Amino acid sequence: MIVYSYEMDERRLEVFATVARCLSFSDAARSLHLSQPAVSQQVATLEAELGAKLFERSTRRVRLTAAGSALLTRSESLLREYSDVRRAVAAAEGRIAGDLRIAASLTIGAYVLPTVLVELARRHPEVRTRVTIQNTEEVVAALRTGHADLGFVEGEQVDDPAIVFRRLREDELVVIAPAGHRFETL
């Protein structure tokens, strides 16, 4: 008896899903912090392994094929399963691990989150973070649809009973001007 086995590589699946969501190899590469040729190679390898073309490519557009759509439907649940397995094994050993999808508004993403992510990585090196920087409405939508596990926004603009809001810190705005400017007396 001959037994065939197929082991799907999690990273290839993640690259595929990112390209499918972005519908762009270049945007996916930026999102994954990979080169565009590396993303193309991962997708080509996955296509060869599956024996199916996953994307229709043209000079300006990328579209999913029927096979790509079928894989995308399953890939997101498979990627969640991979993360759940890592999280469960780590928890059984008293560690924190797994994927954490963070959505942050523009200002927080630029000025607050980098320091927080460095500290998170130092304390919990087995946590893999994926950060998207969006406007507040998109952060809330990502939480609502399950595309983000955690969101950070400025202000209390979130009025949704399905979203739990916790204040983390206060902001102080300061006006600065050159000496002698008319705003100096503010």
Share of the chain above pLDDT 90, in %: 34
Share of the chain above pLDDT 70, in %: 92
Please give the pLDDT value at position 186: 63
Q: Using an 8 Å Cβ cutoff, are 56 and 63 in contact? A: yes
**Would you state the structure tokens that stand for residue 4, as one six-digit string?**
């065939």
Please give the pLDDT value at position 4: 45
Query: Domains along the chain?
Result: 10-82 (1.10.10.10), 96-186 (3.40.190.10)
Please give the pLDDT value at position 82: 85
Of the candidates 92, 119, 122, 128, which has an alpha carbon nearest to the alpha carbon of residue 14?
Answer: 128
Average pLDDT, the chain: 86
- The residue that leads in pLDDT, 168 or 150, is 150
- Identity at 25, one-letter amino acid code: F
Confidence grade of residue 41 (pLDDT, cut at 50, 70, 90)? very high
Q: Using an 8 Å Cβ cutoff, are 70 and 60 in contact? A: no
- The residue that leads in pLDDT, 96 or 160, is 96
**Would you state the structure tokens that stand for residue 91, as one six-digit string?**
């928890």
pLDDT tens per residue, range 64-86: 999 999 999 899 888 888 888 88
Q: Give dist(CA 174, CA 25) in Å, integer.
A: 42
Residue 156 has pLDDT above 70, yes or no: no
